[in-house]
Amino acid sequence: MLGIGVGMASMLCPMYIAEVSPAKVRGRNVAINQLTVVIGILVTNLVNYLLADTGHDAWRWMFGLGAVPSAIFLIGVIWLPESPRWLMQSGQEDRAKSVLQKIGSEGFAESTIQAIKGSIAGPGTRSYKQVFEKSVRPAVVVGIVLAVFQQFCGINVVFNYTSTIFQSVGASLNRQLFETVAIGVVNLLFTLLAMWQVDKLGRRPLMLAGSLGLSVLYIILAFLLQNHFPAGLISIFVLLAISTYAVSLAPVTWVLISEIFPNKIRGAASSVAIVSLWSAYFVLVFTFPILAKTLGTYGPFYLYAVICFLGFLFVKNKVKETKGQTLEELEENLIRH
């Protein structure tokens, strides 16, 4: 049940935010979704750290307290307006216009209504078959590859196996727990930086810098682990990798997935991309212990470095800049090219 809830939220939240946000702030607004995830991870790590020594039933509190943010989310959703783009597809133009008028001016509402009408013209039936039509296939391929790359870049190994990594160089349990909290703090700070820059620098430069930066950092990190350098030095490069990811691949991938698909198929295409993302996540966290046992804890990071460099080449050759364009303008450019 948790998996269903997380899966739905991870698809619907960035998609909804993109559909209700004006083009000039869309990247920042979608990045807010990633910020809340990062805050949740940090708060969870801190709460679990405080609960760890409270007895054998501590794990029950760790699970049970997850109901608090879930309840807040549920209550908040009650007051959310429906997406104007979904309303238009459902033939509810008056309601769509009302929502758009709350977001911008009368002129903004009218121009957006007309643009949406043009983008959804045609047969009303939507199906997953349309996701793989030739006209939209390039966007779908880019979305799927970016989603898979965000996981295969390897950073979630650092999040999930922090203790394993630092234990391999002789760090104490307290040091391992400290590193978990430090990772959460750095992740939060650099996600805030990403929110500030994603609509200024653009999506593509951040993705290029992030993928190439991670490739270099992983090679250094693997070398340090292989040669049993002190935990303090390893910590510096772990945190540099986290900060690089947090300012680039973490939020920007979600921004791009929410932007690049045409209105007609955005829901279906987003779900395909995000299923691909979570499938890649499963493969990553499942294979790391096996790879670490076979190659040593440092070994997989050489592999992730290669994957990040390949990701850099893919972004350089296949990903177009999307900042400052409406969803309908992005769709028109996709069809034209």
In this structure, how many other beta carbons lie within 10 angstroms of the beta carbon of residue 105?
10
Report the chain's mean pLDDT, rounded to a whole number: 86
The pLDDT value recorded for residue 279 is 93
Instruction: Name the band, by pLDDT with cuts 50, 70 and 90, for residue 336.
Output: low
- Indicate the DSSP class of residue 296: -
Query: Is the predicted pLDDT of residue 125 greater than 80, yes or no?
Result: no
Q: Residue 304 and residue 323: Cα distance in Å, rounded?
A: 28
Q: Residue 262 and residue 268: Cα distance in Å, rounded?
A: 10
Which residue type does 135 have? S
As given in the structure block, the two tokens for residue 70 are: 């879930």
Query: Is the predicted pLDDT of residue 109 greater than 70, yes or no?
Result: yes
The pLDDT value recorded for residue 337 is 56
CB 258 within 8 A of CB 83: no
Mean pLDDT of 105-133: 74
The pLDDT value recorded for residue 306 is 97
Give the best-scoring range by mean pLDDT among 27-31, 64-68, 157-161, 303-307. 303-307
Q: Residue 33 and residue 10: Cα distance in Å, rounded?
A: 9
The pLDDT value recorded for residue 126 is 58
Mean pLDDT of 95-110: 86
CB 224 within 8 A of CB 168: no
Which residue type does 265 have? I
Cβ contacts of 48 within 8 Å, gap of 6 or more: 62
Helix residue ranges per DSSP H, the chain: 2-20, 26-51, 58-64, 67-78, 84-89, 93-103, 106-120, 137-152, 155-160, 162-167, 173-197, 203-226, 231-246, 249-259, 266-295, 299-318, 327-336
Q: Residue 329 and residue 325: Cα distance in Å, rounded?
A: 6
CB 335 within 8 A of CB 135: yes
The pLDDT value recorded for residue 127 is 61
Report pLDDT digits (tens) over 141-156: 999 999 999 999 999 9
- Indicate the DSSP class of residue 146: H
Give the best-scoring range by mean pLDDT among 56-70, 98-112, 166-180, 279-293. 279-293
Instruction: Name the band, by pLDDT with cuts 50, 70 and 90, for residue 115.
Output: confident
DSSP string computed for 185-231: HHHHHHHHHHHHHTTTT-HHHHHHHHHHHHHHHHHHHHHHHHTT--H
CB 269 within 8 A of CB 15: no
With 0-12 / 13-18 / 19 or more C-beta atoms within 10 angstroms meaning exposed / middle / buried, residue 264 is buried
**What share of the chain has pLDDT > 90, as a percent?**
30
The pLDDT value recorded for residue 102 is 86
The pLDDT value recorded for residue 122 is 56
Query: Is the predicted pLDDT of residue 214 greater than 90, yes or no?
Result: yes
The pLDDT value recorded for residue 262 is 81
Which residue type does 52 have? A
Work out the widest C-alpha separation in the chain, in whole angstroms. 66
Mean pLDDT of 13-28: 84
Query: Is the predicted pLDDT of residue 90 greater than 90, yes or no?
Result: no
The pLDDT value recorded for residue 334 is 59
CB 263 within 8 A of CB 116: yes
Instruction: Name the band, by pLDDT with cuts 50, 70 and 90, for residue 136.
Output: confident
HSE value, Cβ hemisphere, 13 Å, CA-based, for 109: 15
If we measure between CA atoms, which residue out of 277, 232, 273 comes closest to residue 136? 273
CB 198 within 8 A of CB 27: yes
Please measure the distance between the N-terminal and C-terminal CA atoms of the chain and give it in whole angstroms. Answer: 41
Instruction: Name the band, by pLDDT with cuts 50, 70 and 90, for residue 123.
Output: low
Q: Residue 229 and residue 200: Cα distance in Å, rounded?
A: 38
Report pLDDT digits (tens) over 215-237: 999 999 999 999 989 888 989 99
The pLDDT value recorded for residue 148 is 95
Query: Is the predicted pLDDT of residue 191 greater than 80, yes or no?
Result: yes
| 3-state secondary structure at position 43 | helix
